[in-house]
Amino acid sequence: MASASGRLLLRGEEVSYLEYGLRIDASPALQKRTLQRLCEWYEQGRRLPNVALIRPLLHSLMGSQHTLVRRWSIKALALIGHVDDFQRIVDRLRVEDDVEAQTWGVTGLVKHANDRGLKELCEMANLPNSAAVTLAARLYAPADWIANHTEQPRISLDDDELTLKWALFLIGYGRAPEDLFHPRFSNEVFLGELNAHDAPDISEYSIWALWERPDFGASFSKIPLSQARKHQESVRKWLYRLATKSPGQAGLDPDALSVLRRDESSKAREGLAQGAVDLPPALFGRAVLDWYSTEPDPQVQENLLVSMAAASASDADYADAVQERFGREQTDSLLRRRLLAASVGLPLFADLRKRHAQDQFARQGLLDYGNATIIMGDVNVSGPSLNVGGNLNAQNVAVGDMINSANAAVQQLERSDAGAAEALQQVLAMLRQSNVADEGGTVAAAVQKVAEAPTAENKRTLVDRLKDYGAKAAAIGTVVGGLDKAVEAVHGLFT
């Protein structure tokens, strides 16, 4: 589903959600879900405004003990496609023992393969050149690389599971030749056949491919919704999502939804709850709200809330339910981050953002400073006033000159280290949007020193200056937008 905001760049709340879920100390389940969301955004054409904030987290997760986390982190890096990650992926593949993770690594290498063919790439990464690898190489490859370095693949329904899975990936993402299985039959014919495959993964991904492709729907499935309970929960999860995508074709109405939501598998219900965003509230709104009020599993209930937040512009009751739950959550909770990210670009977002800012001020005791107006991001909220004292105009000019000087040094650094330059630009962007007397100039000066001599000592000094900046802001009762992201970016310079 495309973002309601219509924006190419991810918003601050969306990036905050990613940063929270990709922490090295987060649970593997949360890491995987967050990686999946990052990949979904990139597949929709959305992009991170500053990849320097996220790439170090992905680098760490590539070495996770959990196979699924490694697969998704490698896929995320492949989608981002940063040239500096080419060698990192090669190094990871040389020690990676999961064959599917190896194939995802190949998708990232091909993006920057230049004139290197698949055989050479496999030798670099110490990988066998299997049929699955050959298919994987096509997923993100430039058209000229495919034309020059690959041959027309041909597979059959009897191929091994990983090869079939990659055939399904290519079909789902619209990257497969139209006659991948047979020169006389189109690919959707075989998707239906694979719905009934003995391997649950193949059955699941064949249904996922029908869901992923906008030109396919439930009418292509060989498994009627009435027969869903006969299949494993991972298969049911995608059958339910396919049904919500095209409820008319699947025979899904409010009564049928009320039956499906009683599936004993929470994993299957999670898929149904995610798909609720596609159901028109005018017809399904009451059934969705009834389900939300009685759903016993917290993760399923959260998925429902996220779906309602994303569809809130069409239903006031959805918006009310989201606001009520948002108000009961702690200010640093994952659910708040999910709901803010889901509502970006919708009227609900401003209400949630305002409530979030007010709760943050109350938590920090900042409301005791008075009742003037403070600007936080793009939302006006009641809060403390900013009084820096002295000749504010003169201070602005001086700090502006120091920022400009630091920016010139950063532009020079960009020629030799684009990643470090991007992180420092994040700090300068924060300074341009805020003003804390005396401290802004010291931060800009520290940025310039790192740009001119990126030693560990200069980087540590910059971290200290940023902390001083935040402390001064707190002391005078203001909130500096983007400060946390600037600190994260600088910490990334140490990796």
Predicted confidence (pLDDT) per residue in 154-171, tens digit: 899 999 999 999 999 999
Q: Could you tell me which of 182, 186, 118 has the C-alpha nearest to residue 150?
A: 118
Higher pLDDT, 406 or 47: 47
Q: Where is 288: in which H helix or E strand?
A: helix 281-294
Q: Could you tell me which of 491, 465, 486 has the C-alpha nearest to residue 399?
A: 465
d(CA 195, CA 472) in angstroms, rounded, equals 61
d(CA 269, CA 292) in angstroms, rounded, equals 12
d(CA 125, CA 127) in angstroms, rounded, equals 6
d(CA 139, CA 184) in angstroms, rounded, equals 23
- Per-residue confidence (pLDDT) for residue 456, from 0 to 100: 85
Among 28-42, 204-218, 235-249, 376-390, name the one with the lowest average pLDDT. 376-390
List the structure tokens of 115.
């004139």
- Per-residue confidence (pLDDT) for residue 370, from 0 to 100: 41
Length of the chain: 495
- Per-residue confidence (pLDDT) for residue 5, from 0 to 100: 53
pLDDT band, residue 479 (cuts 50/70/90): low
- Per-residue confidence (pLDDT) for residue 136, from 0 to 100: 97
Mean pLDDT of 421-426: 84
Residue 108 has pLDDT above 90, yes or no: yes
pLDDT band, residue 436 (cuts 50/70/90): low
The 10 Å Cβ neighbour count of residue 282 is: 9
* Averaged pLDDT score across all residues of the chain: 87
List the structure tokens of 440.
């802004």
Amino acid identity of residue 291, one-letter, is: W
CA 413 to chain centre: 29
- Per-residue confidence (pLDDT) for residue 37, from 0 to 100: 97
Higher pLDDT, 472 or 444: 444
Higher pLDDT, 97 or 387: 97
Residue 279 has pLDDT above 50, yes or no: yes
- Per-residue confidence (pLDDT) for residue 381, from 0 to 100: 41
pTM of the model: 0.74
Mean pLDDT of 248-271: 97
Residue 112 has pLDDT above 60, yes or no: yes
Residue 197 has pLDDT above 90, yes or no: yes
- Per-residue confidence (pLDDT) for residue 482, from 0 to 100: 67
pLDDT digits (tens, 9 = 90+) for 169-192: 999 999 999 889 988 888 888 898
Q: Where is 381: in which H helix or E strand?
A: strand 379-383
Strand 372-376, strand 379-383: pairing: antiparallel
- Per-residue confidence (pLDDT) for residue 1, from 0 to 100: 43
Among 4-13, 137-146, 206-215, 374-383, name the one with the lowest average pLDDT. 374-383
Mean pLDDT of 271-289: 97
d(CA 227, CA 41) in angstroms, rounded, equals 32
pLDDT band, residue 394 (cuts 50/70/90): very low
- Per-residue confidence (pLDDT) for residue 422, from 0 to 100: 83
Higher pLDDT, 463 or 314: 314
| Percent of the chain predicted with pLDDT > 70 | 87
d(CA 334, CA 394) in angstroms, rounded, equals 42
Tell me the three state secondary structure of residue 476.
coil
Higher pLDDT, 180 or 418: 180
